[in-house]
Amino acid sequence: MSDFQILLFYKYVYIQDPVATRDWFVGLSTKYNLKGRSIVATEGINFTFEGKTQDTEDFLIEMQKDERFQHIHFKRSKGDGNSFPKLSIKVREEIVTGNLGVCDVNPNEVTGKHLPPKELHEWIHGAASAQGSGAPKKEFYIIDMRNAYEHKVGKFAGSITPELHNFRDLPHIIKSIAHLKNKTVVTVCTGGVRCEKASGYLITQGFNDVYQLDGGIVSYMEQFPNEDFEGKLYVFDNRVMMGFYTDDPKHKVIGKCDYCGTTSEQYINCENKKCNKHILMCDDCQAKSIAKHGKKVCLDGCHADHSFNGGWRVSIFWSKIKKIVASFNKSTSGEKK
């Protein structure tokens, strides 16, 4: 057993005083020497912690003495003690930022049906047909509700991966999957928290048969490593990506270097502090970058040197602004004369 363990869990439950609850969790986490990144909101909690294995288990025992935090699906994985630099527990408006406004959903009132990993596995592999029952293989569609940079390195084979840049983009991708409103759909995400709202939102938008993968992708990977979910799972800590038995020949690398297209599972942040872009970069391209620039930076020019509309360089943009200001100053100076 690893000396360290990572806990991933959430619960949509009414929190009357998020600040007081945050302070209680800070005290409890500090007591057991846990580090991590967590959110408390009126609508619930969303936590990821790392600590010594026994400390994390003792933390859970004490936490569950509060009836609000019982009946939670805890996801456990091996840690190394360095997944988080410190403890951070913040109070936010939502435990996953969706900004759905008047279209927001309460997962305790409307959410997709929870589908255990074992059942999804049976759906994928057509268990009924394999047993000779004569039943046709179930028609269903897996919709990945994670960000685009997450499913670049890992996703279910044949899944639908809408172009989400963050969870707030959810309303904008509905049109691209509207043809599935009368089909069976299964939403998937890392640990399940995003799918609670995403699946509920699909129901409010007219989708008639909506499921969500119970426990998220991490639970499926744990039960069925290197089956169906290809690549690695992107995670929001210093590990960046995780997998199970990745030295197994069945493990498939699906990530590709952003610059040369070589298979790669190495996400780095551009070392240009004004850029910090998250990029997939293979060893060879990293070496080229270091040789040319002395550090690992975007090989096609840092996005700090581009605006996000049309690819104009920021330097050119500011040059135009300076000319406009200079022209204005000159004209006003002339008026004063």
- Where does the pLDDT of residue 167 fall: very low under 50, low under 70, confident under 90, or very high at 90 and above? confident
Using alpha carbons, list the distances in angstroms from residue 33 to 62, 81, 322, 324.
14, 11, 52, 56
Which tokens go with 180? 């599935």
Checking if the pLDDT of 334 tops 90, the result is: no
What local confidence, expressed as pLDDT, does residue 318 receive? Answer: 47
Angstrom distance (rounded) from CA 149 to CA 87: 25
Q: What is the DSSP letter of 66?
A: S
- Where does the pLDDT of residue 3 fall: very low under 50, low under 70, confident under 90, or very high at 90 and above? very high
**C-alpha 276, offset from chain centre:** 18
| Nearest CA-CA partner of 92 in 162, 54, 157, 41 | 41
| Nearest CA-CA partner of 95 in 182, 3, 167 | 167
- Where does the pLDDT of residue 328 fall: very low under 50, low under 70, confident under 90, or very high at 90 and above? low
What local confidence, expressed as pLDDT, does residue 326 receive? Answer: 64
Checking if the pLDDT of 314 tops 60, the result is: no
For 132-143, letters b (16+ CB in 10 Å) and e give eeeeeeeebebb
Mean pLDDT, the chain, whole residue set = 88
What local confidence, expressed as pLDDT, does residue 215 receive? Answer: 95
What local confidence, expressed as pLDDT, does residue 207 receive? Answer: 97
High-pLDDT (> 70) share of the chain, %: 86
- Where does the pLDDT of residue 313 fall: very low under 50, low under 70, confident under 90, or very high at 90 and above? very low
Which tokens go with 31? 């007591």
What local confidence, expressed as pLDDT, does residue 206 receive? Answer: 96
Catalytic pick from 103, 189, 260, 285?
189
DSSP string, 233-277: EE-SSTT-EE-SSTTSTT-----B-TTT--B---EEE-S-TTT--
Model confidence pLDDT, tens digit, residues 216-228: 999 999 999 999 9
Checking if the pLDDT of 261 tops 80, the result is: yes
- Where does the pLDDT of residue 132 fall: very low under 50, low under 70, confident under 90, or very high at 90 and above? low
**3.40.250.10, 3.40.140.10, 3.40.109.10, 2.130.10.10: CATH of 101-237:** 3.40.250.10
Model confidence pLDDT, tens digit, residues 49-105: 999 999 999 999 999 999 999 999 999 999 999 999 999 999 999 999 887 887 889
As its CATH architecture, domain 4-91 has 2-Layer Sandwich (3.30)
Strand 209-213 relative to strand 113-115, pairing = parallel
Strand 75-79 relative to strand 141-144, pairing = unpaired
What local confidence, expressed as pLDDT, does residue 135 receive? Answer: 62
β-bridge mates for residue 184, sequence order: 209
More confident residue, 178 or 299: 178
Angstrom distance (rounded) from CA 106 to CA 200: 8
**Are 210 and 112 in contact, with CB atoms under 8 Å apart?**
yes
Task: Spell out the residues 6+ positions from residue 103 whose beta carbon is closer than 8 angstroms to its own.
Answer: 171, 201, 204
Angstrom distance (rounded) from CA 301 to CA 18: 43
What local confidence, expressed as pLDDT, does residue 42 receive? Answer: 97
Angstrom distance (rounded) from CA 222 to CA 225: 6
More confident residue, 324 or 24: 24
What local confidence, expressed as pLDDT, does residue 73 receive? Answer: 94
Q: Is 189 an active-site residue?
A: yes
